[in-house]
Chains A and B, each alone.
Chain A
Amino acid sequence: MSTSLCDLPALEQLRLIKSREISATELLEAHLARIDAVEGRRPSTDAYTPDPEDLKYVHAFITVTRERAQAQARAVDEALANGQDPGPLAGLPLAVKDIFCVRGTPSTAGSRILERFVSPYTATPVARMEAVGAVMIGKVNMDEFAFGSSSESSAFLPPPGNPWNPAYVPGGSSGGSTAAVAAGEAALSLGTDTAGSIRQPAAFCGVVGLKPTYGRVSRYGLIAFASSLDCPGLMGREVRDVALALQVIAGPDPYDATAAQVPVPDYLTSLERPIEGMRIGLSPDYFKLKYPDPETGEIRERGIAPEIEAAVWRAAEVLAGMGAEIVEDVPMPHTRYGIPAYFVVSRVEAASNLHRYDGVKYGHRFEGPVADLGELYRRSRGEGFGPQPKLRILMGMYVSAEQYEKGYYETALRARTLIRRDFDQAFDPQGDYRLDCLLTATTPTTAFKIGDVYGDTVMMQYADSLTVSANHAGIPALSIPAGFDSSGLPIGIQILSPDFTEGRLFQVGRAYEIATQDDPWRQETPMVVKSLEGG
């Protein structure tokens, strides 16, 4: 386990700054040095030729906002020197997924169409974190417009690598975020989760990832993908770090009518309360997958990876040992429809949201001669969008076009109701199961190699099989590290709970962290960090 400043939990970094043992500037410079050491060549939209050397580096950042961050760190240090309190995140290095607008910085969504876009305003979650002292160290890579589960679809290449083995993907779409946190390039990262885009990469990179309840965090300033599913959330190295950051970003926002008017509890106070008596469910529907055979299209069934299943059962034993009651065989029968319904709902919403990119108001514009405005649209969008946005827009057009396939969109929205009912019945205090939480694997497999799945958009989508239901239902979900597979790649487990009960997720996640804190796997260090220590 690394003992470098960069690899400490966020709360410990904050304690060192507040006690003046280190300055915010020292902490920032340590992180900038880590970035210089592990990043490799900076991702760009230039013609990309893969180089074996790329598979040794992280490539998490599209933009490092070095000077801006240095100014923020100096301001924190000056405030502390003057006896002022800059806030609960004073001096903490933060990586922001490049789907959040931040005034005066490039905000690309991983797309060539926004390559030269500099945002004129700042997203609410970023603004709230910066207002209480967070230092934004840069904008991190992602799947283009968050369309993917490996971060390989970004227009900015090389793609991010997994710090535990950079020949493997970090997951996606918030892969730059989780890679940066795992590699010690940032203490926290702000990302988004539309089908699992925080939790799946968190599991792949061995970090904590939270998708809050839909409406818990404002979406103002988030470049939209699927507006009824998009959820800003957080990634960190410990549950406590994520709880602290959620405290800052949660709550109503006059700029987002879907940000719920629900009071934000004190997450840190309740974090280490005993879990004794909590009812934690396990469902057989989360231990198997149904997916279409790539060759025949027939629906096949297979179990999740045995090492991941074993990690879930072990976590259940650990939590039972702390007094939780484990409830087995909870039926969640509509889980299997999560991906098919998502293929419809998310594409329709994406097609609608991506019509705004036209080469006229902002973003990429075709520079050659055109006959008329229609050709300008076609040429600008043809050059600016990569294959994944094009695919999603086309599918959105198809499934919402009355003349082609009547009923898919409506059926998908009804399937969404059934998925929500599964959770309502499991969590019903007067029901048969009366669960406080559901415990599942986060992903069916651990990370896959860069290039192994990318291009097969169906199999890539099924990487979100265990996470997408929470987005359909709107409920919160937390992924926490739970060991490693035999290849040395991280395993994540997922905890789900009713609307606006993020505090309960933190409580269970923290209990698991405490119970396993002396496990040998907790001492492991990511390959890219280990190579620095070795050399």
Chain B
Amino acid sequence: MGLLTQSNEQYYGSQQVFVATAAQTQFTWTGGADRSNSAYGVNLIPFIDGVSMSNFEVYINNVKIDQGPGAGKYQVSSTNAITLGTGSTLNDVVKILLKDIKAGKWNNHDTYQYVSIRNIINNFKMAYVGDGKLISRVNRADIIFHAKRSLQEFSYDTLKSTRSQELTVPSSLSLLIPQDYVNYVSFFRIDNAGVQHPIYPSNSLHQSPQQVPVQDGSGIPTQDDAADNLEGTSITNERWGDTADYKISGAYTDQMFNDGIYDWGWEKVSLGQRYGLEPQTSQSNGWFNFNEREGKVMFSSNLANQLIIFNYISDGLSADEDMKVPKMAEEAMYMYMLHAILSSKIGIPEYIINRYKLQKRAALRNAKIRLSNIKLQEIVQVMRGKSKWIKS
């Protein structure tokens, strides 16, 4: 039996059309199964008592009707089912159409490449646990634990789990760390052409303090009524925010040009006038650093009101719909779980554990190669640069 449970209409059109019988009131969207069955565990048309769902629309004979109680309207009566307030006429065409938003059409697509953690757990239990199998008995909680741990580990270095946000840096020069943030990958400033320019960590230049105790005249931290140290605002951060970026990067400003600070003729640039610049800081894209104390990312002053892209990694467990694994890494996850469970059980021969240790490594290596997405055609395109002459 094939794994696809949606019709072409449900997937490509994100809609389901019903030809009503006389006085029919209930219509059930059957296309929720792709996501709920094999992918994520989220129904496309969920039923939440007392809440209007806004991710889909209902049409009768191509006329949109409103959601709500009463005649001429419809309500979500249970998961994936709508009930009309007025019974249909025979051969009325009732259409449920997902809207062009994340909770609608977007969620309906891009699902087949993933398998949900729930299915991973169920598949694992079916295939590897039971009477006469490698693991005769194991608590389901143990399987769930190792499945989620493996998803976390895989998220850090194997899966394509990088997330990104497009943000505008406010004049306060700080942004909240994303809710599911685990580590950053990169920051880019986006210019007017939409091209990205890397922003670098401020590292040796500046860092946000983790504590800013308020000191008395003798330098001793002072306490509040609850006997905890009083926290002040960071002067380091203030100074960093006030600093003009060019003073560090050595960037050439319009004012410098007008004032004729440097003789900036092209023939002199290569003569060493800027000799001695620190390459690490000689960039004008800007800097960022993490303010652990406030849970924020801080940016240098030249990035105020600039558009940035923030790439980061999560652990894949932040929300139910995130708990998914690319099918390319499914086998690696089973092997990880198998090895983890076998090696934590008493009485399993060491050669069995070693066998699955090797299997785990091999499967993980395979998964990494598969997910690294190396395509010969793309490599060839890059290698075409070899034919370019480099002048010396």
Tell me if chain B binds chain A: no
Residues of A at the B interface (CB closer than 8 Å) are: none
Residues of B at the A interface (CB closer than 8 Å) are: none
